[in-house]
Amino acid sequence: MISVVIPLYNKERHIARAIQSVLGQTHRDLELIVINDGSTDGSEKTAERYTDPRIQLVHQANAGVSAARNRGIAEARAELVAFLDAYDEWLPEHLAAINRPAKKQPECGAYCTWVALPDTK
């Protein structure tokens, strides 16, 4: 299993896309932990609409993105934790791509992939 942590603070316009990109992963053995870091724009209401049992929504007073990530790590059940910002999204193969080197070299402390930027022309 992979635990995915999304720190959430005032990203109402973007959080649905981020959550959908996690739920659309080809690697299905995951849990999604959304840490609502005291949002004031209704972001948490968007996250609450999802009924997938793999999603856990945790509320905390605003403490900053680092504290939200640390809370997500504390809540995670898996050894492998992946971070996604609430304004970002993953392609469907992202977690599968991360899981391959993690299986081959479990002694490593971090794994990464490359970034694809949208064409802004």
Q: Of all helices (H) and strands (E), which one includes residue 5?
A: strand 2-8
Instruction: Count the helices and strands in the chain (H runs, E runs).
Output: 4, 4
> Over its length of 121 residues, how does the chain's per-residue pLDDT go in tens digits?
999 999 999 999 999 999 999 999 999 999 999 999 999 999 999 999 999 999 999 999 999 999 999 999 999 999 999 999 999 999 999 999 999 999 999 899 898 877 777 776 6
DSSP-assigned beta bridge partners for residue 63: none
Q: Which domains does the chain have, with CATH numbers?
A: 2-104 (3.90.550.10)
d(CA 82, CA 86): 13
Q: Three-class SS of residue 20?
A: helix
Amino acid at 64: G
